[in-house]
Structure 1
Amino acid sequence: EQGAIPLLDYLSLKNWKQEYCGLINIPHMKDMYGLFYSEQLGYKGIIQHEQSNELSLSAIPKEEKQQGLFYFNKDGYSSYCKEYKEYWDWVKHRNEDRYQTTQNHGKHYDAKNMMHTFRLLEMALEIAREKQINVQRPNRDFLLEIKSGKFAYETLLAQANELQAQLEEAFKKSDLPEKPDLRYINQLAYELREEFYREGFY
C-alpha cells in the first residue's frame, strides 16, 4: 500500500478500531507518528474520546511491527477548532433580526456592516481632505440601499477597495499631524466644561 489515505478510510480498509491503535512519536519528524495495532497489548488508541484535542501515545514493545505512518496537522487542527468555536459563539450571541435580514436579501454578506464600512471610509477620506468630521451623510440614500442588500458583494468590494486606495493617497498628501495635540485637547475640554457649568447647565 502506498500513498496517503485519510485515517477513517484506512481504518475501514483494515477493519480496525481506533481504540486498538498505538502511536509513538518519531524523532525529528514534526507531527509524524508511528502507527501500530493490537487488540491484546492494551494500546491507548489514537484519541481517548470524541471530544479529545490531543492524540494518545502508547508504550510499544520493541518487537512490534510498525503498520504505517500517521500524520496529524496539529497547528491546522487547532486553527480549525478555534474558528469552529468562534463561529458557534457568534451564532449564540448574534443579533437574530440582523441575521434574518442578511438571509432575506440573499446577498450572503452582513449588509449593515457593509454600510458602516462605506460610511467610515468616506468620513476618513473627508478628514484627510477637508480636516473635518461630517456626521450627517450627504449620500444617506445610497447607504440605506447598501443596508437593504441592494448591491452585489463583488460590486461593493471593488468600490470599497477604490475608496481605500483614495484614502491612502489622501493621507499621503495631507498635512494633518501624525499625533493629536493632547495638551490642546485637554485644555479645550477643561474650558468647555468650565463654560458649561458657568452658564448653569445641569
Structure 2
Amino acid sequence: MFTRLKRISTKNANEVCLSSIPKEQEPIGLLYFNLDGYSTYCKRYKEYWSWVEKRNEERYKSNISHYKNYDSKNMMHTFRLLLMAKEIGELGEINVKRTDRNYLLSIKNAAFEYDDLVLKATEIKDKLDLIYDKSNLREKPNLELINKLLVSIREKFYSI
C-alpha cells in the first residue's frame, strides 16, 4: 500500500520532507510545522551536547555536588567584576588584591541560594549608574596619555 521513499534529505536537514499526493485524494489530516521553533530546538540541542562534550568535568561535578544548580565559579567572577566596577566608580582605582576574598570564595563554594545572589547582583548593578554619575572619573580616557604610558612600559620591558 505505501511505498518506502528513498531518503530525500541530508543528515542535518531541519525541514519536513514531503512527497506529492494526487489532487483528487481525500485529505486525512492537516500538518503544521513550526520551522523556526524546530530549528531553534535543533540548534539548542546541538549546542547543549557540544557543551557537554567540551565542559570541564571537574567544575561540572563541583557544581552538581553543592545541589544549587548554578555555576558557582562563574557567579563568583560575576560578583568580583560587579564589585570592582563599584570600587572603580567610587574610588577611581582598580583593586586587584581583594579585601572581600572570603565573601567571593563563599559564593564559589555555593554558600548562597541562586535567587539571593541574582537579587544582590541586580542591586549592585542598579547602583552603578548612580555611582558613575557622581564619580569624578573622566567621561572618556586620555588616549594620548595612555599611548605614551604604553610605549614607556614596553620600552622599559624590552630595554629599548
Question: TM-score, normalized by length of structure 2?
Answer: 0.87
What is the match of residue 91 of structure 1?
52
Cα offsets for 1:90-120 (capped at 9, x unmatched): 1111111100100111111010000001000
More helix by share: 2
Identical residues among aligned pairs (%): 50
Structure 1 counterpart of 2:82: 121
The one-letter code of the counterpart of 1:188 is: L
Structure 1: distance between partners of 2:40 and 2:139: 36
Instruction: Decide which structure has the larger Cα Rg and report it.
Output: 1
Matched pairs, number: 159
1:55 maps onto 2:13 in alignment: no
Whole-angstrom CA distance in 2 between matches of 1:168 and 1:110? 27
CA distance in 2, matches of 1:90, 1:179: 38
1:51: how far off? 6.2
Structure 1 unaligned blocks of 5 or more: 1-38
Relative to its length, the structure with more strand (as a share) is 1
Paired position in structure 1 for 2:142 = 181
Offset of 1:175 from its aligned partner?
4.4
Which of 13, 17, 38 does residue 77 from structure 1 map onto? 38
Deviation at 1:196, TM superposition (A): 4.1
TM-score, structure 1 as length reference = 0.70
Structure showing greater relative contact order (alpha-carbon pairs closer than 8 Å, 6 or more residues apart): 2
Question: Following the alignment from structure 2 to structure 1, what is the Cα–Cα distance between the partners of residues 88 and 129?
Answer: 12
Counterpart amino acid of residue 79 in structure 1: T
